[in-house]
Amino acid sequence: MKNIPTVSAYRVFKNRKSILKNPLPFHNENFEKLGEIFQVKIGPSGLILFTRSPEHIKQILQKNHKKYHKSTLQTEDLAKYIGKGLLTSNGDHWRTHRRMVQPAFHKKKLEGLLGIMSDAIRDELKRIRPEVLEDIHPLMGDLAFQVVAQSLFSRNDIKEDMAELKRITETNQQMLIKEMRQPYLGWWFKLNGAIAHHLKLSKEARNLLDKIIEERITSGVEKDDLLDMLLKARYEDGTAMSRDQLIDEVLILFTAGHETTANALSFTLFLLAKNPKVQEKAFQSVSGIDLENQNHLENISALAYIKQCVEEGMRLYPPAYYIDRMNIEEDQLGEHHIPKDTMILLAVYELHRDKNFWEQPEVFEPERFNPKNKKDFSNYYYPFGAGPRMCVGNNFAMYEMILVVAEILKKYRVQTNVEEIEIDPLISLRPKEVPLEFIQR
Ligand code: HEM
């Protein structure tokens, strides 16, 4: 067995400021120097393994997935704020609930949600201020949150509750990031009451959702939205989810489904602004389509080039830029022995820019995803993960993003005055600011 190259705790300490700002360049340097796999020492006994090898990633997510669980980053650190839903659980608990939640996201079911989704999108896009250069990311954040909220509850009269829920979700996420980046201050966060304060916020969010669910049940009205599907889902013994479990799953859908989509949309719009020829081609593909007709699925199928633009946007800026796992049994990755309980980060960002596979990886070229030209990129492209834990909302997200880009390009030409956007990788890969101007067509 070969030793895995190790980055010392000293080197991490020396680079701590740049790592805190954006860890991606540090990791890239390590990969370039040390090869496809390396480990980083974090403290006296802790180690984190990083891999960008397509073989390792496939083995972990697919071939040997049974040996790998979600790490405690999600099942403990994140779960304490958002509960034990799909994203944050493992084993039988996860399997049982995946079986119950997944049917709500089948393509056929989603078809029924497309009307709600496109109304929510159109409503939020009314906030665009034409000919004003401004950061588009907050709008994309609100839009993605509203799309999840409307798809769950199909209600327009709870905007204030939803704004509060968004505020709590985001504030708690900021706390989590603090805890992850400064683990040595854990004792202080407990002592100064910060964790207790955020747990109290989580409780408020849960109460708010409980009230909305109760209103639905007492109304006796069937809506055919995501909440209805979750209410109707049954365990094998015919019983329904407890109220607490239902709230966990709803909170997870907000958490997993809003920031990721907002990031992908902001990056894709920026890339379109930087590439006017691609933007023109995308506009041509939507110009003849009446997006206000009710044939949403037909429209989406006709928007193949816009789909490619979104796919290429997520290649360059995958919102889930690392996927974390911990092995519950020992394993072997290539020539390396991996002891049980190793924390592993799969470097999706690196894989999506692997120069041995992608031609001119830095260039925004949606044609790569044209089904006519595409080479088999399945081992080099994981925006939604892979294997049994693959994103349950992937079709939902793709439909939503295609509709948003189409609605925008149909009305506006998008431009920007900046060369690059600074990225701010936190739990997801997100842009710091995306200044865009919308010129009316
Ligand atoms: C561009 C948007 C999105 C991206 C890039 C994305 C990415 C991902 C990835 C990579 C995973 C797998 C994580 C892992 O294996 O550790 C995941 C899981 C998940 N995603 Fe998404 N996601 C997006 C949108 C959504 C939406 C819209 C929803 C729901 C409304 C959603 C719900 C979930 C859930 C519940 C899981 C956990 C699935 C499980 O473990 O069984 N995601 N997502």
403-412: pLDDT as tens digits: 999 999 999 9
Q: Which residues contact 146 (CB under 8 A, 6 or more apart)?
A: 120, 123, 124, 162
Per-residue pLDDT at 162 exceeds 90:
yes
Residues with CB under 6 A from ligand 1: 70, 86-87, 98, 148, 252-253, 256-257, 260-261, 264, 319-320, 323, 383-385, 389, 391-393, 396-397
List pLDDT tens digits, range 39-79.
998 766 678 999 999 999 999 999 999 999 998 889 999 99
SS3 state of residue 309: helix
Residue whose CB lies within 8 A of the most ligand 1 atoms, among 75, 260, 307, 400, for a mutation test: 260
* pTM, 2 dp: 0.96
Buried b (16+ CB within 10 A) or exposed e, 324-355: bbbbeeebebeebebeeebbbbbbbbbbbbbe
How large is the average pLDDT for residues 423-433? 89
pLDDT at res. 18:
87
Q: Which atom of ligand 1 is nearest to the CA of 319?
A: 5
CA of 391 to the centre of ligand 1 (A): 4
How large is the average pLDDT for residues 324-340? 95
Atom 43 of ligand 1, residue of closest alpha carbon: 391
pLDDT at res. 177:
85
Domains of the chain, with CATH numbers? 52-440 (1.10.630.10)
CA of 259 to the centre of ligand 1 (A): 10
CA of 349 to the centre of ligand 1 (A): 16
How large is the average pLDDT for residues 225-240? 94
Q: Which atom of ligand 1 is nearest to the CA of 348?
A: 10
Atom 19 of ligand 1, residue of closest alpha carbon: 391
Q: How confident is the model at residue 426 (pLDDT cuts 50, 70, 90)?
A: confident
List pLDDT tens digits, range 178-224.
888 777 788 899 999 999 999 999 999 999 999 999 999 999 888 88
Tell which residue, 436, 40, 122, 175, has the closest CA to residue 296: 122
